[in-house]
Structures are given as C-alpha cells and as structure tokens.
C-alpha cells in the first residue's frame, strides 16, 4: 500500500501539507462505496485530525469553504460534530438544524429544489432526512458533494466510519474480533452500515435482539454470503463472555407504527454492572447514542465504556471526510 504523506506537519501547523486523494468531489451516501484502502486512508487522516486538534485546536485548511448542514430529523451528535469539524478546519456553516418546519420545505418545496438552492451558497451539503434514498435524491440534484447523515432506517455511513475507527483505536485492530450487536437491529441504521463494513474484516458477528427487531434479511443475506461466523440470539448472556465489541442500540420508537409493540420491547435489554462482570477485561462497550435506558449510567466510569470517546471520534472522522471531499486532504 502506498504510504500517505502527512496532512499536517505538527511542528509547523501554519503551513499544512496538502496532497491529492480519491475523495475529492465525491458524495458519501453508503458504506458500499468504501474499500479497505479508502477506509485506511480515512482513518489515517482522522488520526492526523485528532493529533492536530489535541495540539492546536484547529487550522485553516477549509478557510473560505461553506457547509450546508440540513437536518430534517433530530440530531445532537451528527449535526454538532459536522459543525465542529467544519469550524475546526476554518470553514463556515449554514445550519439548517431547527427542523423542517423552519425551512421552505414546510411551504411545499421539494428536496431537490432545496438542494439546488443550497448549492448556490455552499461547497458541500450534509443531509439527514427521514426517507430511505433521500441522500441519493439529493446527490442526483447537487453538483457539490452530498454526505448522507442518515436516511431514515437506511444507512448512516459516517457513523459506521467513526464506529470502525473507534474499534481500531480502542482495540488496536479490526481483525480477529467478536462483535455483538444488541437491541434494535431492524430499524437501527447504524447497525446496518457497521455490519456491512465489518464484512471486510476477519470478524465473528453476534446479533442479539427480540424476535420483532431482528436484523433485516437483506443485511443478513449479505452476512451469510460473506461466509462470516454469525449467530442470532435473544439473550445477551449467550454472547457477553466472548465479546470484544458490545455494540448497544436504542429501540427506535420513531420507526414503530404500533406503539404497543414498542412498549413491549423498549426495555428488553439493559447493560448493567452485573452483566459487565461477565465480560472480558479487554473489550469495549459502544453505542451510537442517544441512549434511553439500555446502558446503565453506572458503567460510564468503567474504562471499557467507549461511547463518549466514540462520539468524539465522530468529529475527527468528519473532519477527514470534509477535507477529503473538498479536495484539501
């Protein structure tokens, strides 16, 4: 593999080194776009971003560039980490994060028209939208890069990248691990995206959910086709002792049409200190957040609880992606 030139000379941050890359001008819509080489490239750049932020807080790599941050569904982490990423790289943000009722969509404007207008002002667009395929619709309308920040129960590719980066940072490798996903595997788009990325590595996958929240067949068929060692169960205690990454998810109330069904499964799993006693000494608990009860806050102080470090890694990954698609990495 070609050795990357460093993005920044950490001893002389006033003059960051720039070099070419394969992300320039690209949309980021699905994890299917990434091969292992590109993943390694992004993780190397994200690590450089981390080192730079820890040393000087920010640089002017994207000075003069503008990000339109369009969130048609609620978000804390994805929206604010994209905004922080742009600002730490010296760029500016148009924040459309107050909900669709405050944009002209409430007057009947189509997504395609909103995108065509925003690209008049911005160099890159980040979109979260409740409908599967909306990011593709936006990308088809836009001449600037579009980054999918979650399209309904479809995909959340930048989250999957930060999840994978976190596993690598925490455990040192992406191979030889047993990854157990727990909770809402049906609607949890982060689970779908992360599972697809993990198929590129030598992993064992364990899926833990109530019957009605099992992983969709479309994703499970990809797992089976990849020949990965996979098992499904309803019981966390079946997997906890052999797990390296416990990836816990929230039951997504907003995706249920039958709220009675939601009530029946919402408290199905709670990761407690008692469960953690059965876990390996070297493993991590991750969660894309927000959590609504599925991880007992009593384990926040456990060094294996990686979910807040995971959220921070989102900023570094998004810095690397923004610099990449804007041709500055």
Binding residues for ligand CP (CB under 6 A): 75-78, 150, 159, 288-290
- Tell me, yes or no, if 250 is annotated catalytic: no
Where does residue 99 fall: left (phi above 0), alpha (psi -120 to 50 degrees), or beta otherwise? left
Indicate which residue of 5, 14, 107, 257 is catalytic.
Answer: 107
Question: Are the C-beta atoms of residues 128 and 70 closer than 8 Å to each other?
Answer: yes
Question: Are the C-beta atoms of residues 316 and 46 closer than 8 Å to each other?
Answer: yes
Give the integer Cα–Cα distance in Å for 328 and 310. 25
Alpha helices in the chain (DSSP H): 36-56, 77-88, 111-118, 134-141, 157-171, 189-198, 217-225, 259-265, 273-276, 307-325
Question: Closer CB to ligand CP, residue 7 or residue 96?
Answer: 96
DSSP string for residues in 261-324: HHHHHTTS--B-HHHHTTS-SS-EEE--S--SSSB-GGGTTSTTB-HHHHHHHHHHHHHHHHHH
Q: What is the DSSP letter of 271?
A: B
Radius of gyration for the alpha carbons in the chain, expressed in angstroms and rounded: 20
The pair of three-digit structure tokens given for residue 235, joined into one six-digit string: 């019981």
Give the integer Cα–Cα distance in Å for 180 and 50. 27
- Tell me, yes or no, if 156 is annotated catalytic: yes
- CA distances (Å), 283 to each of 41, 76, 128, 249, 287, in order? 25, 26, 31, 17, 14
Question: Closer CB to ligand CP, residue 42 or residue 289?
Answer: 289
Question: Closer CB to ligand CP, residue 48 or residue 73?
Answer: 73
**Minimum CB separation from ligand CP for residue 131, in Å?**
16
- Tell me, yes or no, if 77 is annotated catalytic: yes
Question: Closer CB to ligand CP, residue 79 or residue 141?
Answer: 79
Question: Closer CB to ligand CP, residue 30 or residue 75?
Answer: 75
Question: Closer CB to ligand CP, residue 90 or residue 95?
Answer: 95
Indicate which residue of 26, 45, 77, 287 is catalytic.
Answer: 77
Q: Which residues are catalytic?
A: 77-78, 107, 128, 156
């Amino acid at each position: 593999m070609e050795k990357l030139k460093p993005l920044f000379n950490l001893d002389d941050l006033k003059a960051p080194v720039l070099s070419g890359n394969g992300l320039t001008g690209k949309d980021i819509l699905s994890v299917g776009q990434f091969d292992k080489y590109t993943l390694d490239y992004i993780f190397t750049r994200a690590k450089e971003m981390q080192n730079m932020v820890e040393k000087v807080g920010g640089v002017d790599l994207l000075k003069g560039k503008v990000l339109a941050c369009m969130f048609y569904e609620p978000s804390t982490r994805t929206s604010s980490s994209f905004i922080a990423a742009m600002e730490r790289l010296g760029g500016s943000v148009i924040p459309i994060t107050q909900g669709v009722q405050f944009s002209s969509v409430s007057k009947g404007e189509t997504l395609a028209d909103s995108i065509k207008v925003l690209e008049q002002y911005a160099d890159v667009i980040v979109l979260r939208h409740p409908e599967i395929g909306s990011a593709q619709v936006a990308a088809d309308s836009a001449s600037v890069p579009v980054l999918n920040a979650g399209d309904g129960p479809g995909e959340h590719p930048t989250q999957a990248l930060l999840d994978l980066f976190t596993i690598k940072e925490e455990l040192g490798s992406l191979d030889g691990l047993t990854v157990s996903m727990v909770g809402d595997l049906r609607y949890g788009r982060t689970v779908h995206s992360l599972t697809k990325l993990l198929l590129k590595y030598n992993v064992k996958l364990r899926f833990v959910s109530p019957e009605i929240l099992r992983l969709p067949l479309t994703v499970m068929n990809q797992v089976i086709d990849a020949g990965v060692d996979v098992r499904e169960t309803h019981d966390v205690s079946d997997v906890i002792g052999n797990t390296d990454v416990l990836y816990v998810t929230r039951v997504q109330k907003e995706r249920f049409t039958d709220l009675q069904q939601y009530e029946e499964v919402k408290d199905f799993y709670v990761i407690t200190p008692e469960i953690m006693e059965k876990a390996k000494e070297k493993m991590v608990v991750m969660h894309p957040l927000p959590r609504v009860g599925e991880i007992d806050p009593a384990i926040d102080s456990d060094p294996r609880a990686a979910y807040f470090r995971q959220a921070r890694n989102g900023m570094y990954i998004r810095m690397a992606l923004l610099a990449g698609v804007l041709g500055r990495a």
